[in-house]
């Protein structure tokens, strides 16, 4: 078993002004691919480095496979790591870079060759084994770094933004390949990124970090669809979740002087912050269009952005500004009047003071396990 258990880890920045990690507890199950995602400075890399043994926590513990490794050096933790900067040796050929960790562990020669070749085959590097890093593209160098990490067959694989130096198209291609490789190996993996698309597509679970703590952890679509707090909804998604203030009056939701035709929890005269994804708002043709119906609330298009697969609209309405994702065939231009409809099942409600999700009873939802 190679589960990773982080228990109440605290790490304070050298200045002492604030905590890099603030009493974090987290478990990565055996064979699970968990992604830590969050903005720069949220503490995700510091947490990864403490699991790796490259940083010492002020308090708390790290267990790998049931063994307390908090005080052990990195080489004794049974893990391997892939860095953002490749960290491969320019004076060594690809085969020697991949086999470096095996030589350090004094693995038998025949086994070294076998495992090096297996890793090279997995990463499509067999044709480049006798080249030096300077003769490779950036994507190929990152493949070498990943191959070196998996060749040692460690219990745990740690990755710190390994794709961030690649261009957008190469990152997309390598992301899919990396997911297949890790799934084939079944290695417990902890992956750090600031890229939401990477987090959503790669992880069995994602843990969204903010200011040294975990705001929410869960299956990617669960976290995306039901954010536990406003920050999570505003961070995940392109565009991020829309938020507007409304008042629940019985079963009606009133926004400004507009009443939305949706069913909502019965919090009489309670104000709520309402979240809704751009793709869950329906844009209806302008009232002047003979095919338009009376449904929906009035809005004015400020910006229309064709993206190929969709039409992204920035609109102004009673609740302020909204991002709306319409179908690619939707026609609109700045200044057009349209109407918007909302499906009650897609609305999420938050306490305006705490920004925490509300349950049907009107209390903050704290049921999101780490």
- Same structural domain for residues 78 and 125? yes
Examine the fold and report which residue of 234, 265, 297 is the final residue of a domain before the chain moves on.
Answer: 234
Residue pair 143/111 in contact (Cβ under 8 Å)? The answer is no
Is 357 within the bounds of a domain?
no
The beta strand positions in 228-269, using DSSP E, are 242-249, 252-255, 258-260
pLDDT band at residue 290 using 50, 70 and 90 as cut-offs: very low
For residue 87, what pLDDT band results from cuts at 50, 70 and 90? Answer: confident
Do 246 and 223 reside in the same domain of the chain?
no
Q: According to the model, what pLDDT value does residue 156 have? A: 93
Q: Determine, yes or no, domain membership for 137.
A: yes
What's this model's pTM, rounded to 2 decimal places? 0.88
| pLDDT at residue 292 tops 50 | no
- Ordered alpha helix ranges (H), the chain: 44-52, 94-98, 100-104, 109-122, 138-151, 168-185, 196-202, 220-225, 230-235
Total of domains in the chain:
2
Q: How far apart are CA 30 and CA 208, in angstroms?
A: 20
Does residue 197 fall inside a structural domain? yes
CATH code for the domain of 116: 3.40.50.300
Give the mean model confidence (pLDDT) for residues 49-70: 94
Residue 366 pLDDT greater than 70, yes or no: no
Domain boundary among 178, 206, 234: 234
Tell me what pLDDT residue 286 has: 64
Tell me the pLDDT band of 291, cut-offs 50, 70 and 90. Answer: very low
Kindly tell me if the per-residue pLDDT of 287 is higher than 60.
no
| Together in a domain, 160 and 286 | no
Residues 221 and 244 in one domain: no
Q: Does one domain contain both 214 and 248? A: no
Residues 102 and 242 in one domain: no
Based on the domain organization, do 21 and 94 belong to the same domain?
yes
298-349 tens-digit pLDDT: 999 999 999 888 999 999 999 999 999 998 889 889 999 999 999 888 999 9
Condensed to tens digits (0 to 9), the pLDDT of residues 125-183 reads 999 999 999 999 888 888 898 899 888 888 899 999 888 877 888 888 888 888 888 88
Residue 130 belongs to a domain: yes
pLDDT, tens digit, 9 for 90 and up, residues 100-126: 988 888 889 999 899 999 999 888 899
Residue-number span of the structural domain to which 79 is assigned: 4-234
- pLDDT above 60: residue 242: yes
Q: What pLDDT does 262 receive?
A: 76
Q: Mean pLDDT in the chain?
A: 88
Q: How many helices and strands (H and E) does the chain possess?
A: 9, 20
Write out pLDDT tens, residues 47-59: 999 999 999 999 9
Average pLDDT over residues 8-34: 91
Does one domain contain both 180 and 287?
Answer: no
Same domain, 293 and 317: yes
Is cis: bond before 264, omega within 30 of 0? no
Where is average pLDDT lowest: 2-11, 214-223, 311-320, 353-362? 353-362
Residue length of the chain:
370
Q: Is residue 330 part of a domain?
A: yes
């Amino acid at each position: 078993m190679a589960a990773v258990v982080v228990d109440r880890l605290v790490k304070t920045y050298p200045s002492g002004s604030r905590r890099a990690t603030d009493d974090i507890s987290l478990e990565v199950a055996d064979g699970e691919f968990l992604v830590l995602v969050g903005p720069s400075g949220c503490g995700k890399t510091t947490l990864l480095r403490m699991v790796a043994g490259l940083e010492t926590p002020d308090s708390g513990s790290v267990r790998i496979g049931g063994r307390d490794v908090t005080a052990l050096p990195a080489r004794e933790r049974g893990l391997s790591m892939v860095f953002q900067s490749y960290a491969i040796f320019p004076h060594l050929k690809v085969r020697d870079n991949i086999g470096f960790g095996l030589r350090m562990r004094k693995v038998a020669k025949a086994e070294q060759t076998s495992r090096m070749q297996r890793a090279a085959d997995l990463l499509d590097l067999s044709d480049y084994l006798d080249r030096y890093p300077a003769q490779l593209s950036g994507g190929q160098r990152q493949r070498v770094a990943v191959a070196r990490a998996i060749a040692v067959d460690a219990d745990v694989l740690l990755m710190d933004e390994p794709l961030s130096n690649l261009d957008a198209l190469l990152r997309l291609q390598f992301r899919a390949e990396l997911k297949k490789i890790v799934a084939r190996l079944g290695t417990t993996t902890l992956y750090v990124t600031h890229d939401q698309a990477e987090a959503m597509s790669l992880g069995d679970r994602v843990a969204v970090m903010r200011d040294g703590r975990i705001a929410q952890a869960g299956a990617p679509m669960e976290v995306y669809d039901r954010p536990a707090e406003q920050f999570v909804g505003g961070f995940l998604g392109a565009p991020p979740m829309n938020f507007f203030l409304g008042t629940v009056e019985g079963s009606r939701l009133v926004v400004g002087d507009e009443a939305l035709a949706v069913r909502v929890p019965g919090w009489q005269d309670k104000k709520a912050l309402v979240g809704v994804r751009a793709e869950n708002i329906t844009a209806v043709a302008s009232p002047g269009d003979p095919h338009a119906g009376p449904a929906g609330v009035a809005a004015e298009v400020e910006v229309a952005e064709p993206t190929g697969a969709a039409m992204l609209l920035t609109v102004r309405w009673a609740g302020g500004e909204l991002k709306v994702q319409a179908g690619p065939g939707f026609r609109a231009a700045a200044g057009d009047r349209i109407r918007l409809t909302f499906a009650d099942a897609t609305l999420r409600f938050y306490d305006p003071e705490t920004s925490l999700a509300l349950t049907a009873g009107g209390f903050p939802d704290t049921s999101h396990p780490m």
